[in-house]
């Protein structure tokens, strides 16, 4: 057994930054022989935290206290810094590599000084050095060789941020890991050590922005006392290269400014936002900017004054431009009057405004056109607004994917969007290239992840949910990384370096995404969860606003099931570029995993498997349950590699997941059977309860909704 952990229980607080001693003696010796001392000068707060992290990381991993020296004339030095703060770096033959990295990038390289072998961690900026230090520690944590190390890395997107949907009362919208990390009551005076650990974790994966507050915003955050609280957090985050963003409620000039209008073209409103921007930058000099949800789900916005989204965004953008800030305007907009298929509305509203947004505005677009479902086609805005920088918004918190009780590794979902081909400039026009700005040469670019962090000791609730935070950061840095590589890294650092653990656990994680699709919404079904809290199945949800019901989306009837988005239906397919558009529109060529997203399909339609649609649906729901059972089986076999507390925690949650997978399967199949009138084939488990039973289940106090509705 090469388990690198004593079997004492862990609580997950350290995340992937555990820095346990390298257990393999040979490897430890190899590391110790090339890393004997650090040559660095902590000439800034960022270099100071970089050096501190490096020392504590090496102390843990190499199990010795590593000296800091000025003397490069000895073997085994680790030279850390920028050419500016450390002029000797110029003598380390790094010019070519340094020329290849951008301001936040870094170089880690075996080289020599006066004939003495050394390793350099170098960058143009202090933040680049910090990222290099974390990358070096990751290299050791994952037991990679140090011989001839040469890593040259730069982030592909500029803004890599978490969006916290945290309310000022401490609750988190769609948060499943406790309450908000931000203790607004005690800020700005009391600074929880957790704020620093949060910043460390983010910096370790390259996240450089945090929007602290819910997009369903409260104007209070823009008042002086709250700005001072936010400033205290910004002070903690700054050395870690993280800038603070806040959500701006469009009606703030009325609510906290005493004006009678928030009309973006009104002179007083314009002056109010300018004054507010000045006030914010006086308090938080490196403030990142505003994140705005407007005219969506009841939020105020420019449409209230018959103005466009760009009128609204530009109002804030002009106010903030002199200070170098940006406005991140969300494209998650759809009308309560439901003028058209919800999947089309953002595109129809925003595409005509391409080219009208100011230079410091980014449109933040969810991965798919509805709302973070288990699988969606990519959002057709990607590729359709070449003159506007489009940020990608991903949901790390598992609103629709089992909250914090289901093990669902999201990197495959994130990658599916990033790697999707928009065909906007022909084959190979990937969403990733729109997002990183390279497709249309934008100066600004970004990715945002709706955070899954909270006050739970292990940060994210499920011991494996931190993998999704980790994966988000790694992909925002480099979208070319594979989901497998990221899972492996995370497993190595979070649990064990033993390949007998890492390999099966990686397979389990990769499988988990398709499992949740299968047992919740296979074949392109979507938005069939329970109302309000979104916990559990609710394909029968009807009444009230139609586009918040399930019936609107699945359209099941005696003939078949699915939303017709072909030219005969809502024609949402027209938003995609050819040849994908035609592929989607044709029942025979539409990918089966999106079939019911785009087509209303007859129950006896023959699928590629040879089964009818109904039988295929039964098969997929059952496959999902079986996949969870396989995950349980895999995890149970890994007992020797994980400490007892985390092992049991995951084990119990997997058992909840298995029960809930059956709940989803049985409830959905029984409900859809009322339309298909077909039997669930004998080869599958039959539902445990009646449809009535499932429809009458009530769940109280489900976490993650603003007011506890039931
Ligand atoms: C913050 C979905 C969620 C809402 C969320 C919204 C959004 O509708 O259910 O809780 O609101 O998305 O992204 O703005």
Q: Alpha-carbon distance 693 to 701, whole Å?
A: 20
* pLDDT at residue 8, rounded to an integer: 83
pLDDT value at residue 336: 84
Say how many residues make up the chain.
Answer: 710
Could you tell me where in the chain the CATH 3.30.379.10 domains are found? 4-153
User: What would the two tokens of residue 110 be?
Assistant: 């075996």
pLDDT value at residue 705 = 85
How confident is the model over 62-86, as pLDDT tens digits? 998 999 999 999 999 999 999 999 9
Alpha carbons 381 and 344: distance in angstroms, whole number: 10
The dihedral of CA 69, 124, 203, 62: what is its sign?
negative
| Pairing outcome for strands 243-247 and 209-211 | parallel
Tens digits of residue pLDDT in 140-151: 999 999 999 999
- Read off the pLDDT of residues 262-300 as tens digits, 9 standing for 90 and up: 999 999 999 999 999 999 999 999 999 999 999 999 999
**Which pLDDT score is estimated for 419?**
98
353-376 average pLDDT score: 98
* Euclidean distance between CA atoms 464 and 626, whole angstroms: 20
Q: How far is the CA of 124 from the centre of ligand 1 (A)?
A: 39
> 155-172 b/e with 16+ CB inside 10 Å = b?
bbbbbbbbbbbbbbebbb
Element holding 635 (H helix, E strand): helix 613-636
pLDDT digits (tens, 9 = 90+) for 537-553: 999 999 999 999 999 99
Beta bridge pairs of residue 289: 245, 326
Question: Cα dihedral sign for 76, 81, 83, 88?
Answer: negative
Enumerate the β-bridge partners of residue 118.
77, 111
For residue 395, give the ligand 1 atom closest to its CA: 13
> Is 680 in contact with 618 (CB distance < 8 Å)?
yes
* Domain over 4-153 is classified CATH 1.10.357.10: no
Q: How many CB atoms lie within 10 A of CB 186?
A: 12
Architecture of domain 159-481: Alpha-Beta Barrel (3.20)
pLDDT tens digits for 678-693?
999 999 999 999 999 9
Which tens digits make up the pLDDT trace of 163-193? 999 999 999 999 999 999 999 999 999 999 9
For residue 73, what pLDDT is reported? Answer: 93
pLDDT at 433 over 60: yes
In the chain, CATH 3.90.1330.10 covers 495-542+605-710
Cα 210 to middle of ligand 1, angstroms: 18
**What is the radius of gyration, based on Cα positions, of the chain?**
26
The answer to whether the CB of 440 is under 6 A from ligand 1 is no
Model confidence at 337, pLDDT cuts 50, 70, 90, reads: confident
Our CA angle for 68, 74, 75, nearest 5°, is 100
pLDDT in tens, 519-543: 999 999 999 999 999 999 999 999 9
DSSP class of 275: H
List the beta bridge partners of residue 560: 602
Split at pLDDT 50, 70, 90, the class of 706 is low
Ligand 1 close to Cβ of residue 173 (< 6 A): yes
Domain 495-542+605-710 classified CATH 3.90.1330.10?
yes
Beta bridge partners of 117: 112
Which residues, 6+ apart, have CB-to-CB distance to 648 below 8 Å? none
The pLDDT of residue 708 is: 45
Pocket of ligand 1 contains residue 174 by CB under 6 Å: yes
Indicate if the pLDDT at residue 125 is higher than 80: yes
Average pLDDT, the chain: 96
Every domain of the chain with CATH number 3.20.20.80 lies at 159-481
Closest residue by Cα to atom 8, ligand 1, is: 371
* pLDDT on residue 177: 98
**pLDDT tens-place string over residues 390-424:** 999 999 999 999 998 999 999 999 999 999 999 99
Does any ligand 1 atom lie closer than 6 A to the CB of residue 421?
Answer: no
Atom in ligand 1 nearest the alpha carbon of residue 165: 1
Expressed in angstroms and rounded, the spacing between residue 373 Cα and the centre of ligand 1 is 12
A 10 A CB-CB count for 3 gives 17
Instruction: Please determine, for residue 58, whether its predicted confidence score (pLDDT) is greater than 90.
Output: yes
Average pLDDT over residues 442-457: 98
């Amino acid at each position: 057994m090469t388990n690198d952990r004593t079997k004492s229980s862990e609580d997950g607080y350290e995340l992937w930054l555990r820095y346990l001693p390298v257990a393999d003696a040979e490897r430890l010796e190899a590391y110790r022989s090339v890393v004997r001392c650090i040559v660095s000068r902590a000439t800034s707060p960022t270099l100071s935290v970089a050096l501190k992290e490096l020392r504590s990381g090496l102390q843990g991993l190499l199990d010795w206290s590593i000296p800091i020296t000025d003397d490069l004339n000895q073997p085994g030095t680790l030279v850390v810094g920028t050419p500016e703060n450390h002029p000797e770096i110029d003598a380390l033959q790094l010019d070519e590599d340094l020329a290849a990295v951008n301001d936040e990038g870094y170089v880690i390289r075996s080289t020599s000084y006066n004939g003495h072998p050394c390793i350099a961690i170098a960058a143009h900026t202090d933040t680049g050095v910090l990222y290099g230090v974390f990358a070096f520690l990751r290299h050791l944590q994952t037991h990679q060789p140090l011989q001839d190390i040469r890593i040259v890395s730069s982030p592909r997107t500029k803004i890599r941020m978490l969006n916290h949907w945290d309310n000022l009362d401490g609750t988190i919208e769609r948060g499943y890991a406790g309450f908000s990390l931000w203790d607004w009551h005690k800020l700005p005076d009391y600074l929880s050590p957790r704020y620093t650990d949060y910043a460390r974790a983010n910096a370790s994966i390259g996240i450089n922005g945090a929007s602290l507050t819910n997009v369903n915003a409260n104007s209070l955050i823009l008042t002086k006392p709250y700005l001072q609280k936010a400033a205290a957090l910004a002070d903690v985050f700054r050395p870690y290269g993280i800038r603070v963003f806040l959500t701006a409620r469009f009606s703030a000039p009325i609510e906290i400014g005493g004006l009678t209008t928030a009309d973006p073209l009104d002179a007083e409103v314009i002056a109010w936002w300018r004054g507010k921007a000045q006030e914010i930058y006086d308090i938080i000099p490196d403030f990142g900017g505003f994140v705005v949800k407007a005219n969506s789900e009841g939020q105020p916005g420019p449409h209230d004054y018959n103005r466009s989204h760009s009128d609204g965004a530009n109002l804030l953008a002009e106010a903030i431009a002199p200070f170098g800030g940006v406005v991140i305007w969300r494209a998650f907009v759809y009308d309560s009057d439901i003028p058209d298929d919800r999947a089309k509305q953002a595109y129809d509203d925003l595409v005509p405004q391409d080219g009208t947004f100011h230079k410091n505005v980014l449109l933040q677009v969810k991965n798919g056109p509805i709302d973070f479902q288990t699988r969606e086609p990519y959002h057709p805005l990607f590729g359709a607004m070449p003159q506007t920088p489009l940020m990608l918004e991903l949901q790390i918190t598992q609103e629709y994917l089992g909250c914090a009780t289901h093990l669902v590794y999201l990197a495959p979902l994130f990658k599916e969007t990033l790697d999707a081909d928009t065909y906007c400039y022909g084959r190979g026009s990937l969403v990733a290239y729109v997002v990183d700005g390279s497709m249309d040469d934008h100066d600004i670019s970004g990715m945002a992840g709706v955070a899954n962090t909270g006050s739970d000791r292990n940060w994210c609730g499920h011991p494996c949910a931190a993998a999704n935070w980790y994966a988000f950061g790694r992909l925002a840095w480099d979208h070319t990384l594979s989901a497998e590589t990221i899972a492996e890294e995370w497993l190595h650092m979070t649990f064990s370096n033993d390949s007998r653990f890492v390999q099966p656990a990686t397979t389990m994680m990769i499988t988990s995404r398709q499992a949740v699709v299968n047992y919740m919404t296979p074949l392109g079904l979507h938005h069939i969860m329970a109302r309000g809290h979104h916990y559990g199945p609710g394909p029968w949800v009807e009444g009230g606003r139609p586009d918040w019901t399930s019936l609107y989306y699945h359209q099941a009837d005696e003939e078949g099931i699915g939303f017709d988005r072909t030219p005969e239906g809502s024609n949402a397919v027209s938003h995609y570029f050819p040849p994908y558009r035609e592929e989607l529109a044709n029942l025979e060529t539409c990918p089966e995993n999106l079939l019911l997203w785009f087509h209303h399909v007859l129950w006896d339609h023959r699928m590629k498997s040879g089964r009818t649609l109904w039988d295929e649906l039964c098969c997929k729901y059952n496959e999902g349950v079986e996949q969870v059972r396989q995950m349980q089986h895999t995890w149970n076999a890994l007992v020797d590699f994980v400490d007892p507390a985390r092992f049991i925690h995951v084990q119990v949650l997997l058992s909840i997941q298995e029960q809930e997978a059956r709940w989803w399967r049985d409830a959905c199949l029984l409900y859809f059977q009322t339309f298909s009138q077909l039997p669930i084939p004998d080869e599958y488990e039959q539902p445990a309860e009646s449809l009535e039973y499932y429809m009458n289940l009530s769940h109280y106090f489900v976490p993650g909704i603003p007011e506890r509705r039931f």
